[in-house]
Copies of this chain bind each other. A is one copy, B any other.
């Protein structure tokens, strides 16, 4: 953390030239942080495919709740400098930065990060700070803040926006606070089912042999030690594919766990759609639902994502599922680009 105390992080700017105008899009998560440097595309509704990318840089965790404010900030500053340096640009070429980072839940979080970004960039640079779920939504809608995103990986959250800028979220409160549809939730329920089968509180299940052999344990009693030896949620969530395999093989306990997960995930989306009125007055309007994360990836026969859509479309037939083709950092960059385009349109109208 001492390396860049005196701004050496930006030393490359002494030799780089002003290039094309660029946008930085960042997706900062608990495991890694990605920064995309994109040229400012013409303000038309036709977005080129593939999207132009000047550079991509990657770094570690930038969630301030996990690593602390100072380390998170340095990681973000480093990754932005690297993307600019790789693209042959410098800070005076930047038109906008969109930083989408996990752990941004309150306007106060947002303002603190904005203040700090303000110190790095020249005053004409547009700055946007969002929760990382917003970048995931934008990666499916090519930068439009409209519709809902469902993320289900180790954790889960639903986040939605109306076209007039209202937003709502559901779930995303972590495992203690009931995110049972998440990868962690699915796996924790599978481990619980093994304990219950072992002590006589629940039916026998294929999960016992499948999970014990995956973890190289010889008895269910050893699960307690395994579970509490390392409190990482991702380590437990990594068992999801085993649960899916057992469900595909017909195990009723594994099937019940996945069905509960489907119900929980669908309910979190429906709560957002309902609160925002995304499906219109008759409940039938079209709205995009961006689906992201390992739990929602298609499996051979048991496809959690497909079941979630089936469940939602019973109440909201206008739901339009989207599996993003670009990464969330690109979503963040597109978000910033659309803000610039909107601003330019507004100027022309005046």
Contact = CB atoms under 8 A, between A and B. Distances in A.
A171 B199 contact: yes
Question: What number of copies of this chain does the assembly contain?
Answer: 2
A167 to B, nearest CB: 12
A224 interface: yes
Contacts of A105: 221, 224
Contacts of A58: none
Interface string A171-208: 10110111000000000110110011001110000000
B223 A170 contact: no
Contacts of A192: 173, 177-178
Interface of A: 65, 105-106, 168-171, 173-174, 176-178, 188-189, 191-192, 195-196, 199-201, 221, 223-224, 227-228, 231, 236, 267-268, 271-272, 274-275
Top 5 nearest A-B pairs (CB, nearest first) are: A178-B192, A200-B271, A170-B199, A201-B271, A173-B195
26 contacts: A105-B221, A105-B224, A168-B199, A170-B199, A171-B195, A171-B199, A173-B195, A173-B223, A173-B224, A173-B227, A174-B224, A176-B188, A176-B236, A177-B191, A177-B192, A177-B195, A178-B188, A178-B189, A178-B191, A178-B192, A199-B271, A200-B271, A200-B275, A201-B268, A201-B271, A231-B231
